[in-house]
Structures are given as structure tokens and as C-alpha cells.
Amino acid sequence: MKVFLKLLILFIIHIKPISSATTSTTAKFAVIMDFETENILYDKDANSRIYPASMSKLMTLYVLFEEISSGNINMDTEFLVSEKAWRKGGSKMFVEIDSYVKVKDLLKGIIVQSGNDACIVVAEGISGSEDAFADLMNSKAKKLGLLNSNFKNSTGWPDDEHYMTPYDLALLSKKLINDFPEFFNMFKEKEFTFNNIKQGNRNPLLYSYQFSDGLKTGYTEASGFSLAATAEKSGRRLIAVLSGMDSVKERKDETIKLLEWGFREYININLFNANETIIEADVWLGDKSIIDLITKNNVNFTLHKRNINNYTAKVIYNNPLPAPINTDTEYGKLIIQNTFKGDLEYPLYAKESIKKAGVFKKISSALSFFIFGGYAE
């Protein structure tokens, strides 16, 4: 009865038109993604190819995190600094040629200092060469669903065939945070000293936006000023990727503006957890007369805040359900209507298996159903 009341309260709701919220940005390319639902709240040419510059290093870090997590290397593993790494221009960690550097230092050299030299040391240490590491990056990108990305190096160094999209960068950021939470706290470190040279984190939001805790800046003449950022506010996380801005200040201000817009205008509804009972169904001629129907995934979705009371939901299933019943067969649907992404459907499954009843149970159950319209235990 408790579940039934919950459904009544949540699902029988007056429907109103869903209103839209708009904003704008001076960035040439931008996307705002909700971390939990992956809903795209804002899209300005988010599927266009851009030069990702140092935001590419998020993929270098993903591969490195995976190597550590799999046990192939550890934080104290040391990689040799080649002449190529030592000579590399741009932002640097300032490693010394022919020296060995620990992975834990290389991580901070990439995350905090955006070291191109550190990326090449990692690439050569894992794959033997930067070209081979770029192949590994591309293979991993396909597995992660980054469908419009191509890597030619580990650093984001300008190359006409090295590209990503803002959407791919947002998705990569989400997977990096989700898959490697044990490393994510490193992104909010504001400074790191290596070889007696102290450098500050290049992410401007860490110094001016209290809800920010990562990820990575980027800049080349071709790409302009870019930023892949994330922030958490009141338990909700957003990811923003902006590219093609003209200054450091514009990069900071535009990113904060879009993040605040996303937090202000939208909300997530967590209606049911995975494996939570949605509704009880009768069972026809089974060794149990009642079965709980569940979803195997969390039921959560994004709404505009002005429409928080305007979504609807319904359960569709055939009652009673004939035995035998197993946990892998879909027995109904939970349909959520009028969400940010329109109507959402969640298959309903039995919480447990139920066998066919014995002969005497079948007789008593059938009589109960025809006489009383239901079952008596």
C-alpha cells in the first residue's frame, strides 16, 4: 500500500506545457552537460570539430589512470625522460633529460602544470613512443563512445588531424570523474612544485568560483581560449566545455555564467533507485500470489525548475502475470512523460523468480480469483 500511495502522489499530476530556458555565450563552441543524466542543457555547435589544445590531456590522463588502476604501473613507477620530452615547447613541468620521474609527480605535472614534457614522458613510458600512445588514445576514445575525436599526440600540440568536439570532451570529462574518483581530487590542487619551480593551476575557476573542482584549460592561436570545467553545487554536478574565446577573462566569466545558468534553471528528479519496488502485481497460478516489479536502473531525469510539478508517470503491465516468472523477462514499463528529454521508458522486471503452483494451489488460487477478484494467501 505504501508503494501504491507513492505512485498516486507522484504520477497523477496536472500536465502543463514545458517552457524553455535560453541563454547565450560569446564562446564559439559550448556545451553544458548534466553529470548524472548526461542531458545536454546547452548546445552551441557542440558536435563541431575543434582543436582541443591541452584539453586533449584529459585523454592522456584517462589512459594513465587506467594503467594505474589495472596494476600495470603504480604511483612510484619511474619513467625515463627522453630528449624529445625535454625539448618539447609550450607549457612545461621542467623535467630533466635522462632523469627518471615518478608517476605521482608526472600526474601533477600534467594536471596542475599542464606539462607537455610530462605527457610525452608518460606516452613513451606506457607505449614506447608518442605515436603508439596516440593510437592507444584513439582506441580508448572509440570504446568510450567519443565518436568524433582523433588524436595525433599526447599533448594537444597543433595538428590538422588532431581534433575533438565539445560534446566528446564533456563525455570524456564525465567518464574520467565517474571511472576514477580516487584521482579526481588532484584536479583541484592549486599549485605544484617540481625541480624547485612552483607553478599554479591554470584553471581560473579554482580561484574565483567556489563550486569548481576541475578539469583542464586549453589554448592555441587556432583554438582560442578553451576550458573543460566541472562544478558541484547542492549535490548536483555539471560539466561545461567552452572553446573559441578571446581572453583568459572571457574564458572564466563565460564558463561561470553558463554553469550558474545550468544550476539555476534545471533540477534532477531521483524518483526511484535501481531495484526499488515500483508496483506490486498479482501472479496467476504461481507458488506465490504477489510479485514486486522493479527497474534495474535508477529512475532519474532532468526538469526545468519551472516545471518541477508538471511531469507525469504511468505504469503499464498485464495483471495478473502468469507463472512461471523469471527476473530477466520484461513484464511492463514505467513511462515518465514531459521530462527535459521528452518521454522516458524504463522496463519493469520481477524482483524474484516464481515457479508454477502445485495442483492444489492452482485450484485454490483460481477459486480465490474468480470469487473475490484477487488472491488470498
Mean pLDDT in residue range 324-328: 94
Is residue 263's pLDDT more than 60? yes
Cα→Cα distances 78→73, 81, 99, 121, Å: 9, 10, 9, 10
Tell me which residues are annotated as active site.
54, 57, 114
What does the pLDDT read at residue 308?
Answer: 84
For 12-31, what is each residue's pLDDT tens digit? 333 343 444 689 999 999 99
Give 82-118 pLDDT, tens digit per residue. 999 999 999 999 999 999 999 999 999 999 999 999 9
> In the predicted model, is pLDDT for residue 249 greater than 50?
yes
pLDDT at 22: 82
Q: Strand pairing of 277-284 and 266-272?
A: unpaired
**Rounded mean pLDDT of 229-258?**
97
pLDDT number for residue 19: 42
Question: What local confidence, expressed as pLDDT, does residue 49 receive?
Answer: 97
pLDDT, residue 309, reads 83
Q: What's the CATH number for 29-245?
A: 3.40.710.10
pLDDT at position 373, please?
55
Query: How do the domains of the chain map onto residue ranges?
Result: 2-15+270-372, 29-245
29-245 and 2-15+270-372 share a CATH fold? no
**Fold assignment, 2-15+270-372:** Peptidoglycan synthesis regulatory factor (PBP3), Domain 2 (2.60.410)
282-309 mean pLDDT? 91
pLDDT score of 371: 56
Contact indicator for 63, 84 with CB cutoff of 8 Å: no
- What one-letter code names the amino acid at 133? F
- On whether the CB atoms of residues 312 and 14 are closer than 8 A, the answer is no
Average pLDDT rounded to a whole number, residues 182-210: 97
The lowest-confidence range among 13-22, 120-129, 130-139, 280-289 is 13-22
Residue 306 CA, distance from chain mean position: 25
Q: What is the pLDDT of residue 307?
A: 82
Is the model's pLDDT at 339 over the cut of 70?
Answer: yes
Return the percentage of the chain with pLDDT > 90, whole number: 83
What band does 366 get if pLDDT is binned at 50, 70 and 90? low
pLDDT for position 28 = 98
Q: How do the residues of the chain divide into helix, strand and coil, expressed in percent and rounded to 5?
A: 35, 30, 35
Residue 370: the pLDDT is 54
Q: 324: which 3 cell numbers?
A: 512461471
Q: How confident is the model at residue 2 (pLDDT cuts 50, 70, 90)?
A: very low
Give the whole-angstrom CA distance, residue 354 versus residue 331.
Answer: 13
- pLDDT band of residue 369 (cuts 50, 70, 90) is low
pLDDT over threshold 90, residue 208:
yes
